Amino acid sequence: MLPTNRGRPQQRPPPPRSWSFLSEMVDFSDPKRRPRYLTKLVMAALLTAMCVLMLTQPPCHRRASPSVFSTRQPGVTHVLLTGGAGYIGSHAALRLLKDSFRVTIVDNLSRGNIGAIKVLQNLFPEPGRLQFIQADLGDPKAVNRIFAENAFDAVMHFAAVAYVGESTLEPLRYYHNITANTLVVLEAMATHNVKTLIYSSTCATYGEPDKMPITEETPQFPINPYGKAKKMAEDIILDFSKSKKADMAVMILRYFNVIGSDPEGRLGEAPRPELREHGRISGACFDAALGIIPGLKVGQ
């Protein structure tokens, strides 16, 4: 006689639990469920990648919507001012804005002063007057994007490293920053049909002339990498402007001993401490003006 089990039917013990992440989410034994979960995983990965890409883009590459800077307005001249956070560039921006020009400043702030930008923004807060884009002219894609997203009527090219002594220590840096970057700006102007250029050069292109005073007819024989890089940039600009394809209006400025500040004291020269030895003003003068030392005594 076979034994009879009068109790409740015994249940099979549960299978061992898998601690695999994918096993928890997807039952791969069910071929109908597998594609759906894999699709969700792929979509989640793509969305995450897109978010990371957007967050890591430089500020100048993210534009919410077209602005007044991207369209031409009758009676308003829109000037691209490179190096507008620098000493000479910021004063040029101030004058342009006072004269009712629309100004876009592009500066990588390697030598420029963000404080100058803030001063200008506070003085001219009205929409459509001033915008600042932090970008490097050594990046052709960034420069081309800036031209594509803005309607420029003219370019004032001030951006450059500008110390004679430093240029003898780092000549390649000066040729890249001055000559090569100017070529990038010219190519963008040609691509986007901008026909007016004011170029900030230097008296260093004259070298040590035989006769004084220096005039427009004085031969240019630069003797240091700074002057040579500027002279090369001038030659490129003039050669291109004379070509039939360019049809450009060009002005070249060569400065002698630029010094001083805005008469109302809103802007002035403010080199970084490590660059004071290369500047036009003694570091002791800066220390006295800032109150770091009580004053200066000038000997006989």
Q: pLDDT band at residue 149, thresholds of 50, 70 and 90?
A: very high
Span 67-99, pLDDT tens digits: 899 999 999 999 999 999 999 999 999 999 999
Calculate mean pLDDT across residues 240-258. Answer: 89
Give the residue from 65, 89, 118, 86 showing the smallest Cα distance to 279. 86
Using an 8 Å Cβ cutoff, are 91 and 267 in contact?
A: yes
As a whole number of angstroms, the distance between CA 188 and CA 296 comes to: 48
Calculate mean pLDDT across residues 17-43. Answer: 56
| pLDDT at position 228 over 60 | yes
Q: pLDDT band at residue 265, thresholds of 50, 70 and 90?
A: confident
* Whether 206 is catalytic: no
Helix, strand or coil for residue 98?
helix
Helix, strand or coil for residue 193?
coil
Q: pLDDT band at residue 121, thresholds of 50, 70 and 90?
A: very high
For residue 14, what pLDDT is reported? 56
pTM above 0.75, yes or no: no
Q: Is the dihedral of CA 192, 194, 200, 203 positive or negative?
A: positive
Cross-strand bridge partners of residue 266: none
* Percent of the residues in the chain that have a pLDDT greater than 70, as a whole number: 72
| pLDDT at position 43 over 70 | yes
As a whole number of angstroms, the distance between CA 92 and CA 157 comes to: 11
For residue 254, what pLDDT is reported? 95
Q: Is 151 exposed, middle or buried (0-12, 13-18, 19+ CB in 10 A)?
A: middle
Using an 8 Å Cβ cutoff, are 130 and 103 in contact?
A: yes
Q: Best-predicted range by mean pLDDT among 4-18, 33-47, 227-241, 263-277? A: 227-241
Span 153-206, pLDDT tens digits: 999 999 999 989 899 999 999 999 999 999 999 999 999 999 999 999 999 999
Q: Is 187 exposed, middle or buried (0-12, 13-18, 19+ CB in 10 A)?
A: middle
Question: Which stretches within 106-264 are classed as H helix?
Answer: 114-123, 140-148, 164-169, 171-174, 181-191, 225-242
Q: pLDDT band at residue 18, thresholds of 50, 70 and 90?
A: very low
Which residue in 174, 175, 199, 226 is the catalytic one? 226
For residue 262, what pLDDT is reported? 84
Calculate mean pLDDT across residues 104-122. Answer: 95
In this structure, the strands spanning 196-202 and 102-107 are unpaired
